[in-house]
Structure 1
């Protein structure tokens, strides 16, 4: 008998899916996604959404629990969409993330690939995040910073977040109180009215520096700007002693992109510093920087070793950001050519490369990867890519294949697009030799993976 929306059924869960739900199947074979479940559990659920090819269920009672099930440590876990795996013990989380990478290669890459032995655990699984991006909205009649509830854009107000670094974990509640007390209106994405739409917090885990940025949906009036400079900033500084800088970012778009192109400081120079030993970096609120500094060092060391395999001399790095991985690559290469599109990051990369004494080994090219890679001259032993979650464009893949390096090192936070692009590289004659994954984001479903491809079998 087919299940319908609202029905209650008992299901046995199978593997975990890429969104953190577990997959189960009804007796008729309908795929059901069950959030909050773990593989191999027997659960009574209620079907809350029914589609032709799948359904989404809400767990009501766990009849047979996984031995690795644990109690979430955050009181907001059932409501907040920030974490997806707090109900699993941390060692189990790492096994599940390895399984997610394996599953992506089995489903999408669909060719033999090296065994993925384990997912490297994070040195810390709490207070590890050096960055928080919290939407600002109206909740309970007040301007509140929080996270979106699961599968919605309803704000779950956050007073303190236990996965944020200690320097910034209590700042969301403080900012909400200050914004409300000063009468700053939150942005309403439905009407397009209001002022502040996001709170961005960043900190240097090794330096203690804290950056706070408010993303505004419009220009501040003269009175609002004066209130921000003379009342907001002093209150923030009094509550956050490590605060190095406060900025305003302007995002006038009506879409879900968090930051806009223009940023201006309200206090300080708009930058913070962080150490990824042996290097030190400065960056702003809009730059990409791995959210887990200690784990980032392990990832970059592994990626660099892969890039140097076979006696690499010349490296081409695409999507270079502010130059973090670039500096690690330069340690063992004769030269690195780094390509980055986001101009604020290009400027930061230039200063970071110089500050770390690597200007003689690194050439920086500003502009989109697709436009610049076609015009690059010279032979490269290795191409390293660390693209956004959407992966590389087909044009970028084609251009890399035209360069025909000995090695391609691909870093990804999205196993699905990694496996998709890996299949394209396979068509071009490149085979995966080594796959390593790292838990950069404990208690979430996200996983960072690095793969070394080589030309020819």
Structure 2
């Protein structure tokens, strides 16, 4: 099988990047973006490696029952969504299968039946945050999303997965920023000023935060132009605008945000209710992008953690304290650890706002530095790490605490399954696995797993 050859294939299952997996007549694994499991397709081999190939979808010979026409005209070119061509029931089934596959391939030990994926109340217009890279294209400022497997920017003027208050704002911001003359950032040379535009919107209050990510410090003239020219126009065209910030990212890597943020308008914060609680967060803080599903997830995670009467809970990777406050609200005394100093400060403020300060102790520092919290006894340990998962060092420290229960919240089934294997080595087995559709139209899935310490 050679590059450029067209082959007929029967697809088997979805991969973690949204491609479908098939096997060529010679047994080679072929990834086919745009296909769905159970389809017969013709694919043109675009990439041929020793152990696998990637094929472009040329023709669908037999369609899957769940196939539909994508709602967005940019689907397949923009890399933001991977599953718009699947109806919603199919998406939920695929996400459950991704979690199932990760545990079968990586964990490789007995695990409980994975319940159907809990749906999002909104299939569209759910996302409360977006990050738009800015580049120079044909002499002009271009702003949008990266193309699939690329850093080419696909111009985007509206996006159907953004909250309705935000759906048309990419085009509005593109128009207004184009008037400023701010030079777009060039990844190759490191020159230019404007790297990304970040928008966040409260689903409950409608408050909007806009942050401009700059590659260097603003000059006095640039700052004056933003304050006297751009800000008045944004206030006029964005009724919900509450605050505008500039974040400085002076590095040349792929990380979006830097460590220093300045406020141009407002106080740099927006407020989000997740009933019955309310939370403040800023430009840099982690906050779940689907507020409705976040509320469902936090209540389920708190139930897992506290259902056996747990009173003392350790939570690692606590962010601005959303799950921490749900745990404390339900009666737990929570020790919360967060590395990002700004988020740790906001966690204290969120505990105060919700009347939970007496139940929430905050440590600002990395989870790897267990000194402040490891010489204590806990009834349950809760972790919600980044996509890379927990380090073995952290998992070993957790295991050494010998808490009866662990709740692991994850946005990456592969690292979740890997870490589940390490926890098994430390004496913990999964007893409940729930997945949540935090990200409709994408291949991503949120999962919460309850582990119990084995009794010997």
Q: Same fold (TM over 0.5)?
A: yes
Secondary structure at the aligned position of 2:38 is classed as coil
Cα offsets for 1:220-246 (capped at 9, x unmatched): 122111111111111111110000000
Query: 1:338 aligns to what?
Result: 336
Runs of 4+ in 1 over 4 A off after TM superposition: none
Secondary structure at the aligned position of 1:346 is classed as helix
Cα offsets for 1:185-230 (capped at 9, x unmatched): 1101011011111111001000110000010001112211111111
Cα offsets for 1:294-318 (capped at 9, x unmatched): 0100000000000002110100000
Matches within 5 A, 1:93-112: 93-112=91-110
- Deviation of the 1:331 alpha carbon: 2.0
Of 157, 178, 196 in structure 2, the residue corresponding to residue 198 of structure 1 is 196
Query: 1:382 aligns to what?
Result: 380
Of 269, 272, 280 in structure 2, the residue corresponding to residue 271 of structure 1 is 269
Structure 1 gap segments, 5+ residues each: none
- Most deviating of 221-230 and 88-97: 221-230
- The yes-or-no answer on 1:258 pairing with 2:256 is yes
Query: 1:38 aligns to what?
Result: 36
- Deviation of the 1:151 alpha carbon: 1.1
- Deviation of the 1:158 alpha carbon: 0.6
Of 363, 369, 391 in structure 2, the residue corresponding to residue 365 of structure 1 is 363
Query: 2:74 aligns to what?
Result: 76
Of 240, 243, 246 in structure 2, the residue corresponding to residue 242 of structure 1 is 240
Secondary structure at the aligned position of 2:370 is classed as helix
Secondary structure at the aligned position of 1:295 is classed as helix
Distance in 2, matches of 1:452 and 1:123, equals 24
Secondary structure at the aligned position of 2:230 is classed as helix
Query: 2:225 aligns to what?
Result: 227
Q: Is the 8 A contact 2:363 2:372 kept in 1?
A: no
Q: Is the 8 A contact 1:315 1:333 kept in 2?
A: no
Q: Is the 8 A contact 1:401 1:425 kept in 2?
A: yes
Cα offsets for 1:78-99 (capped at 9, x unmatched): 2100000000001100000000
Distance in 1, matches of 2:210 and 2:224, equals 18
- Deviation of the 1:372 alpha carbon: 2.9
Distance in 2, matches of 1:115 and 1:376, equals 32
**Aligned Cα root-mean-square deviation (Å):** 0.9
Query: 1:6 aligns to what?
Result: 4
- Most deviating of 100-109 and 363-372: 363-372
Secondary structure at the aligned position of 2:336 is classed as strand
Matches within 5 A, 1:385-424: 385-424=383-422
Distance in 1, matches of 2:187 and 2:284, equals 21
Distance in 1, matches of 2:235 and 2:24, equals 56
Secondary structure at the aligned position of 2:46 is classed as strand
- The yes-or-no answer on 1:446 pairing with 2:444 is yes
- Deviation of the 1:34 alpha carbon: 0.2
- Deviation of the 1:329 alpha carbon: 0.6
Distance in 2, matches of 1:137 and 1:94, equals 35
- The yes-or-no answer on 1:147 pairing with 2:145 is yes
Secondary structure at the aligned position of 1:120 is classed as coil
Q: Is the 8 A contact 1:43 1:61 kept in 2?
A: yes
Distance in 2, matches of 1:134 and 1:242, equals 19
**Structure 2-normalised TM-score?**
0.99
Query: 1:17 aligns to what?
Result: 15
Query: 2:351 aligns to what?
Result: 353
Query: 2:171 aligns to what?
Result: 173
Q: Is the 8 A contact 1:374 1:399 kept in 2?
A: no
Of 302, 305, 315 in structure 1, the residue corresponding to residue 303 of structure 2 is 305
CA distance 1:204–1:375, shift in 2 (3 Å): closer
- Deviation of the 1:333 alpha carbon: 3.4
Secondary structure at the aligned position of 2:394 is classed as helix
**Structure 1-normalised TM-score?**
0.98
CA distance 1:13–1:266, shift in 2 (3 Å): same
Distance in 1, matches of 2:38 and 2:376, equals 53
CA distance 1:91–1:373, shift in 2 (3 Å): farther
Q: Is the 8 A contact 2:374 2:397 kept in 1?
A: no
Q: Is the 8 A contact 1:373 1:399 kept in 2?
A: no
- Deviation of the 1:374 alpha carbon: 6.7
Matches within 5 A, 1:211-222: 211-222=209-220
Distance in 2, matches of 1:455 and 1:317, equals 17
Aligned length: 455
- Deviation of the 1:153 alpha carbon: 0.5
